[in-house]
Each structure stands twice: as C-alpha cells, then as structure tokens.
Chain A
Amino acid sequence: MIQFIIKRLFSTVFILWGVVTIIFLLSHLVPVDPVTMMLGERYDQAVYEQLRHSYGFDQPLWQQYINYMWQLLHGDFGKSYHYIERPVADILRSGVPISLQLGGLAILLELIIGIPSGVLSAIKQNTWIDRMNMGVMMILYSVPNFVLIPICMLVFGVQLRWLPVAGWGSAPHMVMPVAVYTALGTAFYARLTRSTMLEVMREDYIRTARSKGLPERMVIYGHALRNALIPLVSALSPSLAFIVTGAFIIESMFNIPGIGYIAIQASQMNDYPVVAALTLILAVAVALMNMIADILYTVIDPRIRL
C-alpha cells in the first residue's frame, strides 16, 4: 500500500509538470496579448513597453518558463493580470471554501437520495414504482442546468418570493443552488445504482446467500449493495475532484463567489495566471481522488490488491 502511494505520487508529479508546461505554452501562444488587454482601448507605445517589461514578457520564452516554474516551486502562482497587482493565491483562497461547501453538500445529498432510490428501483424492477422513480430521474438527468436555473429563479424567487435568487452565505441562499446541483447527480447515481444492483442480483453468490436463508435485507445490503458500490466509487472520484473547481454554470448564474465563478471570469478576461493555477489545482485534485478511489476499492473488494 505504502509502495503504491509513493509510486502514484511520483507519477503524479510528472503529470503535473506536463500539465503546467501545456498551460504555460497555451497561455503564451494564444494570439491575445495580455498587455493589450490591460491597456484597453487607449493604446500608448511607451506604457505598453513599460508594462511588458514589468511582467517580464520581454524576456525569451524559455526564460519566462524557468521563472514561472521557479515561482511555482515556491508555491507562488504569480500575480493576476486583471486584478491589478493581486496575487493569484489570494483570489483563489476566497473561492475554494465556497465551492467545497456547495459541492460537498450537493454530493452528500446526491448519495443520500440517489443510492437508496436506485436500490428501491432495482428491488421493485419493472413495477410502477420503478417506472415512476426512473421517469423522474430521467427528467432530472436530461434538463440542463441553464434551463432549470432560470425556471427555479422565476418560480421560487420572482413569483413566490420564497428564496433569494443570488448570493451565498445564509441557508436560504443555499437552497436553490444546492438543489439544482443535486438534481443531476442524484439522477445519475440513482440510475447507475439501479443498473449495477440488477447486475449483481443475478450473481451466483446472491443465490447462495438467499439459499442459506439470509433475510432479504441482509442479502441486499450486505452482499448486493456492497458489490454494486464499486462502479459508484469510480464514478464518484472525478465528481469529487471537480467540486474543487466549482460548478461553472451554477455559480455564475446564482452569483456565488466560488472557484467556478472566478474561473469563468478569468477566462473571459484572459487572466492566464488565474486560469493556470485553477487548472493545476484541478489536476492535483483529480490525481488525488483517483488515488483515494483505488485505495477504496481494496476496502470494498478484498480481491483487489494494490
């Protein structure tokens, strides 16, 4: 296990180095000049040269690359182009906890609602309960966020005045965004749980368990669900990784100052240092989550060894 973790961390470092390099090259090869954007519509050659120099853009590319890597090794993401003179780390620090709250709460709810309803559907396969349950889930799964959000805002915010339509902080603020975030995931996990449960229920060991005279509840929760969870774990790890980067559409539309919201703004403003830092954070999160998922497999299924 320890050996596995060390190996995995070692390869992760290489992957991150590749990611950073790709980001660096992309952000320097795009045809948009950040200094032009900083100056805006009023162009002045002297001011342009001065700013280029102060950001080090007048150095050769390899030199800039080395500087950037050196900064990163010291945990310094550099300074934002758009938020004048503001360290990127500062900008991200305010967003990460908010995205974690939103995403964490939503994923918890997804699992609490999604898995039991999937199990229920699997047990009651092809009854009206199953059909209704899956029908609802299908709708939740197929309505895109950018359609669902304005409808929710109009109904619960503008018409009924039950909930605020923007912001973050108090409980009423959280209800709508968390509900929308949860809708899609719940449907996904319910459908996934149903199909994996059905598959597992046909296995020999379930028949064995039943013939041993185990109560049905034990069969389902002790034997079937435990094995059905394996695909869930692999599905869960990327979604856990992505909560670090926030939910782009939800955060933007509900005006929630999380990382997704910051990312959209940064990409629109060509604020590459922020975009680069975000991508790096996501890469780290995905790598870590995959590692955790691999460790979890061994816990769920003793046949898997690392």
Chain B
Amino acid sequence: MLSPTNRRFNWMGVLVIVSLIAVLVGSCAAPPQPTPEPTKAVIAATPTAAPSPTKPPAPTPTPAPKQVLIFPNIGITEPPTTDPALAGDGNSVEVVSLVYSGLVKQDKDLRPVPDAATKWEVSKDGLVYTFYLRNDIKFSDGTPCTAEDFAYSINRTLNPATKSRQAKAYLGIIAGATDVLEGKAATASGVKVLDPLKLQITLTKPISFFLDTFYFTTSAAVKRAAVEANKGDFTKVETNIGTGPFMIKSWVHGAEMVLVPNPYWYGGKLQLAEYRMPFVKDAATAYKMYLTDEAHLTTVPSDNIAEAEKQPDFVRAPRLRVATLVLNLKHPPLDNPKVRQALAHALDRATIDNVVLRGQLAPIKGIIPPGMMGYNPNIKGYNYDLNKAKQLLAEAGYPGGKGLPPLTLSYPTGGPDPETTRTVTAMQQMWKEVGIEVKLNGMEFGAFLKARNDHTLPFIYTGWGADWPHPQNYLSLLLHSGLPTNWCEYSNPKYDQLVDQADVTFADEKKQLALYAEAEQMAISDVAWIPIGSHVRMYRLKPYVHGFVPYPSWMLGVMAPDWTKVYLSAH
C-alpha cells in the first residue's frame, strides 16, 4: 500500500526542482569582462597623468615580521583558467601574470620594457623582430628556459587543440600563424629559434603595435614537459611551472591560492614570504574583509565610495575602458547629422559622472581614453549646451522634437560596466529636456553581445576595454569599415585610409599619432560615436603595503613595477 506521502513526493519534488531550474536558468548577470589586456605602448607616448593616490611617502618604515600579502581576486569563486594560452579575463590574468612571464612587459606608463628579453631589434621594413633573451632564465622547478620554450609556448597557443580564444587576436599577425590556427601546420613559419638565447619573429604586416600584443599572456613561457605530463590540465599545481616572480604553493579550488616567491626568478630575491589570493565573489564581502584586515587590497563598491574617498588609503586607477554611444549613420533619424549633434550637445557628462556613477566615469570627448598613448585632451567634441541642442534640432526640421521618428537606445543591463541602467535613464531625461524622446531597451548581456556582433542595433550604449594600449585597438578595430567589431557600420573611406596608414607607420611615432588624431577627430565630427566617459576604478590599499603604484589597466588597477621592492611594514 502506498502512503499518502507518496503523492506529495511526486509533486513536491518536481515543483522544487522546476523552481530551482527556473531560478538558476532565469538569473542572468554579468560575466567579467573578457577583453584581453593592454601592453605597454610600443612607442614613447606622453601618457596623461592619472589621478594619483593621496598616499604620503613614508620615511622607510621597518618591515613587518610576517611578510604575507593578501590580495583577494574579486568577482570569482575560482579563476577561469591559469593557462597563459587561454587566459582572457582580468581574474585569470591576475594569476598568470604572477606565475608566468613573457619576453617583454609594460611599465606603469604602459611602455614596453624588457622582461625575459633584455633587448630586441626591429628590421628596417618592420617585419622582423629579433629578441635577445637573458642567460639566467629558469622555470620555477630550476630547469633553464630558452628561446625554444618561448617558441613552443607561442605555437601551443596557436594550436587549435589548445582552444585559445585569444590566439588569433594576439598572435595572428605572425607569419604562418593562420596555418597553425587552421590546423594546416604544427608550427608557425614566422617563429624561429636562432640560438638558445635568440628568438626571431616575422610578421605578415609591419604593424606598429606588435610589442603591445606580445606583452600579453598568449606568448608567455610554459614548461613543455609539465604541460604534456599533465595533459594540459592547468588546474593542477604541478602543471603551472612558469618563469614569473611567484609559483603556486597550494591551491584550494573554489577558495584560495597561496603563492610563494619563485626561488629561481631572474628578477631577484623577493622580500615577501607569501602572496595569499582568496577568491571572493562578492565585492561587498571583499570590502568588509579589508576593513577587518583579512585583505590588504579591495575594490570599493559603489555604495561605499562616499566613505572610502575620505580615507588616506583610497586609490583611483583609470580603467582603459570607454563608455560610449554608438550610432548607425544610415538609420533615420540618426542619418541627419544635426540630430546626432543635438543628441551629443544635450548630454551633461559631469552630472552622469558625479551623480549617477559617483566618480566612476571620468567625462571624455574623444575615443581614446586618458592614460593611453594617443589620448588627445584637445579634441573638438560636443559640450553640454541645451540651447545649441534645441537649435540644431529645430534646424534639422524637428523643432522641440516634433515629428522626430522614434528612437530606441539598446544597452546591456549587466556586463562589465557598472550602473548601466541608471546611466541611460539619466541620458533619457537629458534628451527629454530638448524634446527628444528615446525609448530604452535593456538587454541581458549575452543577448546584447550577440545583437551587437550581428550589427542589428542602430543605437547602443556600450563599452570597450583596450586589448592593448594603442590607438589601433580603438580607432582601427572599432570604426574601420567592414570589420565585425564595427558595430554600427561606420564607413568613411578617408577615415579607413588614415587608420590603415597609421597602423603601419612604425618608425615615426609623431607622424603616426598625428594620423590617428586626425582620424579620431573625423569620427567624432561625424558623430559616429558620442563618448560619455572613461571608467575609473576605486581601490583601498593598506598603507603598510609598499611597492605598488596605480596604473591604467582593465585588470588589477595596481601594479608592482619591481617585485623585489614590495614589502609590508610593521602595523
């Protein structure tokens, strides 16, 4: 005989399960920003001064007895990967950049400086790079690392079996890389080991930003024997053998990683004994951990900015990420330049920054964010001018917005940018002031990305974080006609010509920047983009942690230019 409970079992079990599915599948938030990473600016640029931290220089304090640094990795329960070939998001790169190293790295001004390579030569035609390696590079297991290892690592990243999502973007310019990516060759013809300390890379095009792409983890050295012995499984500690300043001592998946100095690192002896990296999903929790000394660094959640700003340990770092409106110039009423200018003049960026985003979106008028090579503070953009906006709208034939065809602004409700809904709602109000009615269409981040890739949205609010800190990564990649990343299909032959020329002007930086500046001004004058601001990240860093500087990046906004100088003072 079946008990009455049996009936309950059936519907209750199913109900519980179905509701859980609904909750899980239905909840959708933002993944971390999977845009890969800036490098140093290839050529000397005058980086704009980033807002400096208000930390007074202390008179060489005494080191603390316990040299354990605790920097949480925020926003994750576990780094998506520690494989240099696969790392494409800030959380993963944060780990990879400690354990691995490449031929070149960027300094705090995003310039290229030697890392495993002491120097490099570029051929006259800009196609051949010869890297001279240090003679004392060792992996963290004590075995030597040579040009052969770098060649292996590059080819491994390109190999389709590795499934790297960044390989094409970062290494596709190398001669023969496409053959490897398509599975037609095992090694790229443009990667040659001349001798154990000399690596030669040949490009298909003399691009000016090659070193910027080469800073990224896709070309960092991994140890072949370790990778092959563990079948490429980088979730095991023993696979992660690199040439970086640290090595992984223990890794509790989903909880914490403990790193210790790599005794064989060519950069010198570290003062730190340990680098603890708890994985903290919730930024609010990380902030509380900072307050209770369970963390030495934290990002500041929006709600805590007001109190944090007053503290001496408050740090601001530009994020090399631009928030912008992108317009399709063929879509009515956006096909009328006066309407586009009216839209631009009606926006009060300072209010958006101060009121809506609490200082997280520094107003800009151009496309290139401050802190990056090619940033032009003198670009002729569009001021906040209500009268002018009204006047332009009237001239366009829509006085007070009468008769203006409907306009819908699409934006992602989640994703890497904070408070998007509040931002676009503020803009909607500003446009209403001049009589322009704009409907808002908030989309789930994944759906938004897909629509943006398919170029189906005529008017979007979106962001772009630099893969590498070079104007090419904005101007050529996002506005050159015919590219999938040109979301609103801006097409201007003169513009294309300018950026194409600038991309391959590798010897004369001044000329190159002039070309980019001209192109940027053109896109802004055409109102293809209405840039709103560049993101700023807020941190708090314990005053007893020494050796870090804020720097513009889309990943961790503080960096240690020299790991041997990082230490904790008595507190």
Residues of A within 8 A of B (CB): 11, 15, 18-19, 22-23, 26-27, 30-33, 36-47, 50-51, 54, 82-86, 90-91, 94-95, 150, 153-154, 157-158, 161, 164-169, 234, 238, 241, 245, 252-255, 257, 261-270, 272, 275, 278-279, 282-283, 286-287, 290-291, 293-294, 297, 304-306
Interface centre among B6, B83, B255, B485, by most chain A C-beta atoms within 10 angstroms, is B255
* With contact pairs A32-B444, A83-B78, A83-B80 given, residues A37 and B449 touching in the complex (Cβ less than 8 Å): yes
Taking A32-B444, A283-B13 as contacts, is the C-beta distance between A43 and B76 under 8 angstroms? no
Nearest 9 Cβ contacts at the A-B interface: A40-B34, A257-B254, A32-B446, A268-B29, A43-B453, A290-B9, A257-B255, A267-B24, A165-B288
Interface contact A238-B12, CB-CB below 8 Å: yes
Contact A32 B447 (CB under 8 A): yes
Known pairs A36-B449, A54-B163, A252-B281; A44 contacts B294 (CB<8 A): no
Query: Once the chains are docked, how many angstroms separate the CA of A40 from the CA of B464?
Result: 11
Q: Point out the residues of chain A lying under 8 angstroms from B447, CB to CB.
A: 31-32
> A167 is contacted by which of B28, B35, B294 (Cβ under 8 Å)?
B294
A265 touches B16 (CB 8 A): no
Question: In the bound complex, do residue B31 and residue A255 qualify as a contact, i.e. CB atoms below 8 Å apart?
Answer: no
Contact across chains for B30 and A268 when beta carbons are under 8 A apart: yes
CB-contact partner of A40 in B12, B33, B232, B286, under 8 A: B33
Q: Does B165 contact A (CB under 8 A)?
A: yes
B280 at interface by CB-CB < 8 Å:
yes
**B27 close to chain A: CB less than 8 A:** yes
Query: Residue of A at shortest CB range from B34?
Result: A40
The residue on B at minimum CB distance from A169 is B255
25 contacts between A and B (CB under 8 A): A15-B10, A19-B21, A31-B444, A36-B450, A36-B453, A40-B88, A40-B89, A40-B449, A43-B453, A43-B484, A44-B484, A46-B181, A83-B78, A86-B235, A90-B253, A164-B294, A165-B285, A167-B294, A238-B16, A254-B285, A265-B77, A275-B25, A282-B17, A283-B13, A290-B9
Q: Tell me, yes or no, whether B49 is within 8 Å of chain A by CB.
A: no
Taken together as a complex, chains A and B put the C-alpha atoms of A82 and B165 apart, in Å, by 12
Which among A86, A167, A283 is the interface contact of B278 at CB below 8 angstroms? A167
Chain A positions within 8 Å of B281 at CB level: 252, 255, 261, 264-265
A-B contact count (CB 8 A): 227
Partner of A279, one of B12, B17, B88: B17
Q: Hey, which chain A residues are within 8 Å of B484, CB to CB?
A: 43-45
Give which listed residue, B2, B5, B36, B86, contacts A293 with CB less than 8 A: B5
Cβ contact of A153, chosen from B8, B235, B288, cutoff 8 A: B288
Docked pose: A161 CA to B294 CA in angstroms: 11
- Whether A267 lies near B76 (C-beta < 8 A) is no
What 1/0 mask marks residues of chain B from 74 to 112 whose CB sits below 8 Å from any chain A CB?
001110110100101100000000000000000000000
B contact residues, total (Cβ < 8 Å): 77
Contact B9 A257 (CB under 8 A): no
Query: Is residue B160 contacting chain A, with contact meaning CB distance below 8 A?
Result: yes
CA distance A54 to B86 in the complex (A): 15
Q: Name B168's contact: one of A33, A44, A86, A287 (CB within 8 Å).
A: A44
Q: Residue B489 at the A interface, CB < 8 A?
A: no
Interface of A is mostly: helix
Known: A26-B25, A297-B3. A166 touches B235 (CB 8 A): no
- Contact indicator A26/B169 (Cβ below 8 Å): no
Give the docked Cα–Cα distance between A158 and B232 (Å): 43
Contacts of A30 in B (CB 8 A): 25
CA distance A39 to B18 in the complex (A): 30
CB distance from B218 to the nearest CB of A (A): 13
**Closest residue of A by beta carbon distance from B29:** A268
CB distance from A259 to the nearest CB of B (A): 10
With both chains docked as a complex, state the minimum distance between the C-beta of B46 and any C-beta of chain A, in angstroms.
28
Which residue, of A36, A50, A261, has the highest number of chain B Cβ atoms within 10 A?
A36
Q: Please give, as numbers and ranges, the residues of chain B lying within 8 Å of A168 by CB-CB distance.
A: 255
Closest chain A residue to B88 by CB distance? A40
**Is the pair A268, B446 in contact by a Cβ cutoff of 8 Å?**
no
Q: Which of A262, A265, A282, A293 contacts B20 (CB 8 A)?
A: A282
A166 touches B35 (CB 8 A): no
Closest Cβ of chain A to B233, distance in Å, is 8
Q: Tell me, rounded to whole Å, the shortest Cβ–Cβ distance linking B525 to chain A.
A: 26
Contacts of A290 in B (CB 8 A): 5, 8-9, 12-13
- B127 contacts partner chain A, Cβ-Cβ < 8 Å: no
Contact pattern, B 440-482, Cβ under 8 Å of A = 1, otherwise 0: 0000101101101100000000001101000000000000000
Known contacts A26-B25, A51-B163, A270-B446; A42/B467 CB under 8 A: yes
Does B1 sit at the interface, judged by CB under 8 A? yes
A36→B13 contact, CB < 8 A: no
Task: Check B18 against A22 for contact (C-beta < 8 Å).
Answer: yes
Asked whether, in the complex, the Cβ of B168 is within 8 Å of the Cβ of A37, the reply is: no
Q: Are B446 and A44 in contact (CB under 8 A)?
A: no
Residue among B12, B89, B279, B449 with most chain A CB within 10 A: B449
Give Cα distance in the complex from A153 to B17, angstroms. 32
Known: A37-B449, A294-B3. Is A32-B81 also a contact (CB below 8 A)?
Answer: no
A254 closest partner in B (C-beta): B285
Are A286 and B35 closer than 8 Å at their CB atoms? no
A27, B9: Cβ atoms closer than 8 Å: no
B226 at interface (Cβ–Cβ under 8 A)?
A: no
Please indicate the chain A residues that have their CB under 8 angstroms from the CB of B467 in the complex. Answer: 42
Contact check, B28 vs A22: say whether CB atoms are below 8 A apart.
Answer: no
- A283 & B17 in contact (Cβ 8 Å cutoff): yes
Residues of A with C-beta under 8 A to B233: 85
- Inter-subunit contact A158/B485 (CB<8 Å): no
The reply on B195 being an interface residue by CB < 8 A is no
Asked if B44 CB lies within 8 Å of chain A CBs, one says no
Cβ of B273 under 8 Å from chain A: no
Selected contact of A234 from candidates B5, B28, B31, B289, CB within 8 Å: B5
Of the candidates B17, B28, B232, B254, the one whose C-beta lies within 8 Å of that of A261 is B254
B282 partner residues in chain A, CB cutoff 8 A: 252-253, 255
Whether B165 lies near A255 (C-beta < 8 A) is no
B20 touching A279, Cβ below 8 Å:
yes
Contact with A along B228-244 (1 / 0, CB 8 A): 00001101000000000
CA distance A42 to B477 in the complex (A): 10
Partner of A51, one of B165, B279, B450: B165
Q: What chain A residues lie within 8 Å of B453 (beta carbons)? A: 36, 43
Contact residue among A41, A241, A264 (Cβ-Cβ distance under 8 Å from B34): A41
B123 close to chain A: CB less than 8 A: no
Question: Which of B140-197 touch A at CB < 8 Å?
Answer: 160, 163, 165, 168-169, 181
CB distance from A301 to the nearest CB of B (A): 10
Is the pair B31, A40 in contact by a Cβ cutoff of 8 Å? yes
Contact B292 A84 (CB under 8 A): no
| Contact, CB under 8 Å: A270 / B31 | yes
- The reply on B14 being an interface residue by CB < 8 A is yes
Q: Which residue of B lies closest to A291 (CB)?
A: B9
Which chain A residues border B29 with CB–CB below 8 Å? Answer: 268
